[in-house]
Amino acid sequence: MFRNNPILVQLKKKIRSKAPRVEGIVKKSDKGFGFLEVDSQTSYFIPPKQMKKVMHGDKIIGKVLIQREKEIIEPEKLIEPFLTRFVGKIKQKDNKFFIVPDYPSLSKDCIQCTIKNDLIHTFQDGDWAVAELESHRLLNNKNIFFAKLISFISNDKNYLTPWLVTLNSYNLEHKDPKILDKSEVKFDSFIERTDLTKLNFITIDDSETKDIDDAIFIKKTKKNYFSVIVAIADPTAYIKQDSRLDKIASNRIFTNYLPGFTVSMLPKKISEDVCSLLPEKKRPVLACKFIILEDGTLLESSICFFLAWIMSKKKLSYKKVSDWLEKKGSWKPDNTIIEYQIILLFQLCIKRISWRKKNALIFREKLEYRFKFSKEYKILDVYVEKRRIAHRVIEEVMILANICAAKFLSKKLGFGIFNIHKGFSDVTIAKHVISILSKFKINFSVENIITLDGFRKLYQSIYKLSNKYLENRIRRYQSFGEFSIHPSSHFSLGFREYATWTSPIRKYSDMINHRLIKSVLIGKKITKFSNDIISKINDRKKKHRMSERDVKDWLYSIYFYKKNNKTEIFVSEITDISRGGIRARLIVNGANVFIPSSFLHPVRNELFIDYENGIIYIKNLALYKITDQIKVQLMEIRMENRNIIAKPVFID
């Protein structure tokens, strides 16, 4: 009888109007309810009924109400929807179209949708599409979420679906650019170039590589120093600044290398033919000459950039050169000239590695994995690809060339596209690092480790301990690598300044540095560019990294789903520990798996997860920690969110 009492209704309205408001991000659970996360320490319960008004990931303002002596959230205002433009899978029901967003926490959400008027495609169940959210329950005062399909991606039977869907989800290109007219690729013949075509330049790359961007010539001087010329393909000799092709490259920023699928920054006619440093082909290059002393030191006064013509004498492969240097297999260089180049490069590499260990930093190499596909893009195998000595040879020479570019740009201009790394970004973070180090009896001060020299000495000390757990804990406090217009230190390499220019047919930032160096060489007036390009480069780099991760997760899920082998036991390494459980990587093939906490121990109150320190305790005993190797068995392949579920295997 009190239900419609006007006084009671008025009182409820008054209470609601005075209820405190909080702002946060919606997190949805698998059981229909959710939480509003205000910060890392504060969250509020959202009942299932109220969760129907919002989506996982929405940024909202909600009222804090008391229900049955418990604080709950009633969503009130949408600040930023999680979904705007998104990718999803089509479902058809009762002559209506629905789209299921391709996000793990939204895999059960069906959003009704219509088709954009000018979109010509007959959609079927299982098709993948790009959609835009048009109506949100909090924003439009409607009782429905609604979307519009704006483009078709692929049907579910298309073997390229993992790549196409992932690229579309990050709004990345999935086709190589094309040359529309021959006049778009016109060689700049007005610039003088030094003829080096008689020198014995060689290239070392993967056997299947076509876009060859670097060639090297090396000799010994009378003082027993190494004299090196690094020649880099010069696409800026053909592509004018602000031309259509230049704008395409400036939008793409990088060539996107995904497993078995590459999307070029430049048209392949340019990257794999016109500019590629193919053997016995005369090519224009930007070159850098420098001298390395007997102890591996770069003689800075020797650095010289110039424009040239070269003709590579031989294309060599990493595998064959490594085999020969390691005295494996039957391959050998064609002649003594090529043999001499390889030997000198190997000697230089050894000296530079020794020099960097003492004066800079060399981080431990991670295992790299490669997928093997059939012509129909079916996954045949996944295997470890070890970096061998020939990879290190080229890496050391390219690092030297990039140091030279950084010094040149810094001295001549004071700006360019520099690769920087800040180490521990502020004093507060450095204090956390010092706290961790003290537990391992490593004594450094905050003031010391925030300097480049101190950072180098810190890691040299850590490496001597060979403690992977400690390395992991310290590394998680490091900042990420960035790009900057102005020169600054690269802590993780241990260099005062660093700027890449050695891959201009794959990286737009390297094209920019080419143009800057060339402008200095020919006396052309240079206009300093805005900082917008840095944001664009950083954003694209992040998207490429995430797209590679997502494609790999999808491919691994397909691989194990088809294998359907739940008896095999894998050795894995723990990569992360969270409230929900353990993330680990299978060492044999690199697949990431998730172990829910419920699989770790049957009694929940005997399980303590210290996710801050990456340790799991069972009955007060530390049984799992990050970097530990554990044996696991696959339990379930969840194709809807490409998640591989595993459990620990205990073998006596």
Is residue 559 among the annotated active site residues?
Answer: no
406 vs 215: CA distance, rounded Å: 20
Element (H, E) at 471: helix 468-475
State the catalytic residue, choosing from 127, 213, 246, 553: 213
242 burial (CB, 10 Å; 0-12 / 13-18 / 19+) is exposed
Active site residue 213: yes
Q: Is residue 94 among the annotated active site residues?
A: no
- List 44, 103, 318, 556, catalytic entry: 318
Q: Which residue has the tokens 């596909």?
A: 373
**Buried-exposed string 503-534: b where 16+ CB fall within 10 A, e elsewhere:** bbbbbbbbbbbbbbbbebbeeeeeeeeeeebb
Specify whether 506 is catalytic: yes
Count of Cβ atoms closer than 10 Å to residue 570 Cβ: 19
Q: From 297, 398, 407, 306, select the one nearest 355 (Cα to Cα).
A: 297
Do residues 194 and 248 make contact, with C-beta atoms less than 8 angstroms apart? no
Q: Is 426 a catalytic residue?
A: no
Own/partner contacts of 631-636, CB < 8 Å, gap of 24 or more, are 631/569, 631/570, 631/571, 631/572, 632/569, 632/570, 632/572, 632/584, 632/586, 632/593, 632/595, 633/566, 633/567, 633/568, 633/569, 633/570, 634/560, 634/565, 634/566, 634/568, 634/570, 634/593, 635/566, 635/599
Of the residues 252, 283, 392, 506, which is catalytic? 506
Among residues 58, 102, 127, 211, which one is catalytic? 211
Which residue among 214, 246, 323, 510 is the active-site one? 214
Closest listed residue to residue 291, CA positions, set 220, 219, 228, 224: 228
CA distances, 358 to each of 285, 344, 390, 464 (Å) = 33, 22, 22, 13
Mark whether 473 is an active-site residue: no
Catalytic residue among 102, 205, 323, 553: 205
Active site residues: 205, 211, 213-214, 318, 506
